[in-house]
């Protein structure tokens, strides 16, 4: 079997530079064959350069991303429990007997069991030591990771982390609070992308944290609030479905609360979930050691394929003929001769990893001197056309610039800013990283003032900038 | 050799759960013996529970943190170069021929070659593709990591990343901009800890980015600026020594610029660098495959030992006798009967990893009804006393609470908020995580209103809170 042999070979230079042996190689081969079936179903040539190693990369990402199935909490915590004196019980609570310890803002990612896409987690874990023992702080993060790295729902992770820590540390109690962010459907991506992420907050508690009026639970919430996170306010928000690929009526009742924007338009395009692709995804779940018949996972392959099929190859070409030129005064922002349309949202699928990358496109061009411009909706249609497929950011930037150039022959400039889920999940895990690409055509190439003027007019996003070393 | 055999054994449950073989085990054994020598030099009993596995942990952290010496850039980039069409050269620059690609906000950590302490890096890497080939985005981060994971200076990392990417990708040019943060001396820790980190900005460029008026370099700066980072403004700030353990007159001239607060008081306490400890550190550098005689490293073991000796064990006990009670009206913030002193800065040394943890202490207590309180400088002295040693945060919190309780028998409450370098560096790398601990003694235990009032009066730090999913 070619696929099997290929999988068993070290993959130098790629993220997947590891040797697989025996059963793992067979599972890896099955995974890769399944990914190839998905690529074929998407209308792609899986042998073309950009996709040639995609099956290997996707298989590795899923394997790493679900490594929690093979990990054992006892192995992690054992050996990291330290005797630590506490105060006299009559005096109060501190140290090894009763003092609360909270590690806040632990970032992880997990896989949504409803649709198999990665989602982001910010986790806050507290516990009250008992028996004069404290646990090494990093273990709270490592135990959370064991349960994050599975096919999960936010509430289940919170519950499982709480139970596992309680059983392994044997403290007086454990408190877990989590904020999770799920990628929305591409059509729900709005200009200010931070507003449309589907966010949910969940918590779980044991021992002394339990009960309506637990003083320790209130302390935990207060200590988390010092990081700007109000779990109580979060839990008062409306209950909405968490996974945008799960129709409202399909959502099982849950203990947590979700807030965010979804429009519920989750019906697949007709005929968009070929059974060969669905079977391929089921076989991937099986290869990862999960049960594809577990009730939360039964429909997931279909939803994952529905998601992928939004990015299927199409051979139509974009035409500018139908695009309307709007009236003077209604044109896009006009800086002298330079017109621009900023912050056009998009969501594409990275062809190297079959994972979304999303962000905004900024377009500049020289007007024709008649004050007329191209309207925003036409640009958005253009961005959607080039964005909604298996892509790389560099190519998408060039394609949009070239398309704009066909009607503005004096010059076009395009900047794309994107977050790549493949840079957040997988081994690299650079969650704050953001990629910018730029294409410059025509006069913008020689007119450095025009280019600088366009770049200066992009409104920066500075929420992530500045000093990283604050407490 | 016991140490050697111990190092060759798998360390279940710890972060260092790996087998070492042959030469590596010998090097690991030497490393651990060196760390034990440091502990002895610090006046500690290296066999006590909290320190028993410290040599193993420290050795592993140094090994992982300098793994870059064993990595090869070609292995990383090879296989991740993708053919990508560009535009016609006469039209402009985009895609595989000339379009600029910038990955911004890549977080790493490195080791300062002057003092061997870890420092944080935020890296921005751009390149202009050439020859119709683009590189996988994650490789820009992985290559940066190869050079970060060594004993380094910020400028050298920037130069090495730039050269290595240029040689391996063969683009039209490479641009690297880096912001770095070095931990200050404990005595320079101020209330607002973000203001006292020593920050430096460096850059390096090759090919089309070179030259005074490189248009591509200006584009790179503009794209980085969209993340709120002004490299030009950074480079106009004053030149100061980067490593606070390096006296001014010892600093070699460098190409980059540093800004931040240092007071230059870097002279070691007399007799504070025992030669046995210095030799032990030199042997660690050798074990890691570096040359302890490289000119930038010659004095580093001495500086590292100077740093460690700031946290040496002392057997004196803190006495409240000498502390002045201030006059009414000058008391600490007074919320009815509850008095509080917030945001007292500290820098301690984690006894599990020999790495600093730093942050702020908030103290609350019941006054004696005479309107008098304890002045801030007395509390700061108390915090310094318990903070400046090999510690764990849980113990420090308890000790401060107990000390305050000795003079305010009605009750004391202490919250410590800290960033642990051992959670930022090492394998766990949760750079945003922050740990809060709380100790509650006396009336605060039963008076939940008093406790809640104290907690509500802590001013939250919300720079890191909120939504993580913005572009």
Residue A405: is its pLDDT beyond 50? yes
Residues of B in contact with A92 (CB under 8 A): 401, 405, 411, 439-442, 444-445
pLDDT of residue A316: 61
Residue A351: is its pLDDT beyond 50? yes
Residue A248 pLDDT grade (very low, low, confident, very high; cuts 50, 70, 90):
low
Dihedrals φ, ψ of A97, to 5°? Answer: -125, 85
- Least-confidence region, from A73-82, A139-148, B179-188, B392-401: B179-188
In order of B132, B196, B307, the CA distances from B244 in angstroms are 46, 11, 10
B382, two tokens: 């108390």
Helices (H), A319-438: 376-387, 393-407, 421-424
Which helix (H) or strand (E) segment holds residue A145: the answer is helix A137-148
Distance from CA of B136 to the nearest CA of A (A): 8
Whole-number Å distance between alpha carbons of A174 and A60: 33
Q: Given B228, B438, B460, which is nearest A99 (Cβ)?
A: B438
Residue A236: is its pLDDT beyond 80? no
Residues of B in contact with A129 (CB under 8 A): 394
Residues of A in contact with B215 (CB under 8 A): 448, 451
pLDDT of residue B337: 80
Q: What is the mean pLDDT of residues B215-226?
A: 95
Residue A429: is its pLDDT beyond 90? no
Residue B368 pLDDT grade (very low, low, confident, very high; cuts 50, 70, 90):
confident
Do A428 and B215 count as a contact with CB atoms less than 8 A apart?
Answer: no
Which of B212, B440, B442 is best to mutate for the A interface (most A CBs within 10 A)?
B440
pLDDT of residue B317: 58
Which of B227, B359, B402, B425 is best to mutate for the A interface (most A CBs within 10 A)?
B227
Residue-wise pLDDT tens digits, B153-175: 999 999 999 999 999 999 999 99
Residue B344: is its pLDDT beyond 50? yes
- The pairing of strands B198-205 and B173-182 is antiparallel
Distance from CA of B70 to the nearest CA of A (A): 15
Q: Given B53, B94, B441, which is nearest A397 (Cβ)?
A: B94
Domain A333-456 has CATH 3.30.1130.10: yes
Residues of A in contact with B442 (CB under 8 A): 91-92
Residue-wise pLDDT tens digits, A308-335: 999 987 766 555 554 544 444 444 555 4
Residue A229 pLDDT grade (very low, low, confident, very high; cuts 50, 70, 90):
confident
Tell which phi-psi region holds residue B27, choosing left (phi > 0), alpha (psi between -120 and 50) or beta. alpha
Residue A10: is its pLDDT beyond 80? no
- Least-confidence region, from A88-92, A317-321, B419-423: A317-321
Q: What is the mean pLDDT of residues A84-110?
A: 91
Do A181 and B468 count as a contact with CB atoms less than 8 A apart?
Answer: yes
- Least-confidence region, from A348-357, B40-49, B419-428, B457-466: B457-466
Residue in chain A lying closest to B441 (CA): A92
Do A436 and B226 count as a contact with CB atoms less than 8 A apart?
Answer: yes
- Least-confidence region, from A59-68, A154-163, A239-248, B175-184: A239-248
Q: Do A67-259 and A333-456 share a fold? A: yes
Residue B99: is its pLDDT beyond 90? yes
Residues of B in contact with A451 (CB under 8 A): 215, 219
- Least-confidence region, from A36-50, B28-42, B331-345: B331-345
pLDDT of residue A408: 86
B240, two tokens: 């100061």
Residue B244: is its pLDDT beyond 70? yes
Residue-wise pLDDT tens digits, A267-307: 444 445 789 999 999 999 999 999 999 999 999 999 999 99
Residues of B in contact with A194 (CB under 8 A): 467, 469-471
Dihedrals φ, ψ of A404, to 5°? Answer: -65, -35
Strands of B306-433 (E only): list them.
333-335, 338-350, 355-366, 390-391, 411-420
Residues of B in contact with A226 (CB under 8 A): 417, 436, 458, 460-461
Residue A429 CB-density burial (10 A; 0-12 exposed, 13-18 middle, 19+ buried): middle
Q: What is the mean pLDDT of residues A41-70?
A: 93
- Least-confidence region, from B120-129, B208-217, B416-425: B416-425
| Complex confidence, ipTM | 0.86
Residue B446: is its pLDDT beyond 60? yes
pLDDT of residue B7: 33
pLDDT of residue B272: 58
B287, two tokens: 């074990």
The mean pLDDT value of chain B amounts to 82
Residue A359: is its pLDDT beyond 80? yes
Residues of A in contact with B395 (CB under 8 A): 84-85, 95
CB atoms within 10 A of CB A48: 12
Residue B8: is its pLDDT beyond 50? no
Residue A214: is its pLDDT beyond 70? yes
b/e burial code for range B292-320 (CB count within 10 A of at least 16 → b): beeeebebbbbbbbbbbbbbbeeeeeeee
Q: Given A438, A441, A464, which is nearest B470 (Cβ)?
A: A464
Residue A426: is its pLDDT beyond 80? no
Q: What is the mean pLDDT of residues A85-95?
A: 88
Q: What is the mean pLDDT of residues B117-140?
A: 94
pLDDT of residue B258: 39
Whole-number Å distance between alpha carbons of A200 and A238: 10
Residue B73 pLDDT grade (very low, low, confident, very high; cuts 50, 70, 90):
very high
Do A141 and B193 count as a contact with CB atoms less than 8 A apart?
Answer: no
CB atoms within 10 A of CB B343: 18
Do A462 and B227 count as a contact with CB atoms less than 8 A apart?
Answer: yes
Whole-number Å distance between alpha carbons of B392 and A173: 20
Residue B465: is its pLDDT beyond 90? no
Query: Using an 8 Å Cβ cutoff, are B357 and B418 in contact?
Result: yes
Second-level CATH architecture of B67-259: 2-Layer Sandwich (3.30)
Residue B46: is its pLDDT beyond 50? yes
Residues of B in contact with A138 (CB under 8 A): 15, 422-423, 426, 428, 430
Question: Tokens 């190839």 correspond to what residue?
Answer: A36
Query: Using an 8 Å Cβ cutoff, are A180 and A152 in contact?
Result: no
Residue B383: is its pLDDT beyond 70? yes
pLDDT of residue B341: 94
Residue A20: is its pLDDT beyond 60? no
Domain ranges within chain B, ordered by starting residue: 2-65+268-309, 67-259, 333-456
Query: Using an 8 Å Cβ cutoff, are B82 and A380 in contact?
Result: no
Residue B328: is its pLDDT beyond 90? no
Which of B398, B413, B454 is best to mutate for the A interface (most A CBs within 10 A)?
B398
Residue in chain B lying closest to A459 (CA): B226
Residue A365 pLDDT grade (very low, low, confident, very high; cuts 50, 70, 90):
very high
- Least-confidence region, from A205-219, A359-373, A380-394: A359-373
Residue B183: is its pLDDT beyond 80? yes
pLDDT of residue B203: 95
Residue B248 pLDDT grade (very low, low, confident, very high; cuts 50, 70, 90):
low
- Least-confidence region, from A23-37, A439-453, B10-24, B119-133: B10-24
């Amino acid at each position: 079997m070619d696929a099997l042999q290929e999988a068993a070979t070290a993959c130098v230079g790629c993220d997947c530079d590891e040797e697989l042996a025996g059963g793992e190689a067979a599972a890896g081969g099955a995974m890769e064959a399944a990914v190839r079936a998905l690529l074929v179903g998407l209308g792609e040539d899986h042998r073309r350069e950009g996709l040639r190693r995609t099956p290997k990369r996707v298989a590795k990402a899923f394997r790493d991303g679900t490594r929690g199935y093979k990990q054992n909490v006892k192995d992690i915590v054992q050996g990291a429990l330290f005797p630590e004196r506490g105060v006299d019980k009559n005096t109060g609570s501190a140290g090894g007997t009763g003092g609360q310890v909270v590690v806040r803002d632990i970032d992880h990612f997990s896989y949504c069991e409803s649709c198999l896409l990665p989602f982001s987690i910010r986790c806050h874990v507290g516990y009250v030591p008992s028996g004069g023992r404290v646990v090494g702080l990093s273990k709270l993060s490592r135990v959370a990771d064991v349960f994050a790295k599975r096919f999960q729902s936010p509430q289940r992770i919170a519950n499982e982390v709480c139970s596992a820590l309680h059983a392994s540390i044997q403290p007086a109690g454990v408190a877990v609070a989590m904020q999770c962010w799920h990628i929305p459907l591409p059509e729900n991506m709005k200009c200010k992308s931070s507003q449309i992420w589907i966010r949910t907050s969940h918590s779980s508690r044991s021992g002394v944290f339990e009960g309506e009026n637990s003083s320790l639970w209130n302390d935990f919430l207060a200590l988390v609030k010092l990081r700007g996170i109000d779990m109580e306010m979060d839990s008062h928000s409306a209950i909405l479905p968490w996974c945008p690929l799960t129709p409202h009526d399909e959502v099982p009742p849950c203990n947590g609360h979700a807030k965010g924007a979804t429009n519920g338009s989750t019906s697949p395009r007709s005929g968009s979930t070929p059974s060969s692709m669905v079977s391929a995804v089921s076989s991937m779940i099986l290869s990862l050691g999960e049960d594809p018949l577990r009730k939360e996972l039964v429909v997931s392959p279909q939803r994952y394929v529905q998601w992928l099929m939004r990015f299927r190859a199409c051979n139509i070409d974009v035409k500018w003929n139908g695009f309307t030129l709007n009236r003077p005064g209604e044109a896009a922002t006009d800086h002298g001769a330079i017109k621009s349309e900023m912050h056009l949202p998009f969501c594409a699928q990275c062809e190297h990893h079959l994972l979304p990358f999303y962000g905004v496109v900024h377009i500049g061009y020289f007007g024709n001197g008649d004050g007329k411009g191209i309207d925003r909706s036409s640009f958005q249609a253009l961005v959607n056309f080039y964005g909604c497929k298996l892509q790389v950011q560099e190519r998408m930037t060039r394609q949009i610039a070239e398309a704009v150039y066909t009607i503005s022959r004096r010059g076009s400039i395009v900047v794309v800013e994107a977050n790549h889920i493949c840079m957040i999940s997988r081994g690299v895990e650079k969650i704050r990283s953001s990629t910018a690409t730029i294409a410059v055509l025509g006069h913008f190439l020689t007119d450095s003032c025009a280019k600088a003027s366009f770049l200066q007019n992009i409104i920066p996003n500075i929420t992530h900038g500045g000093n990283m070393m604050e407490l």
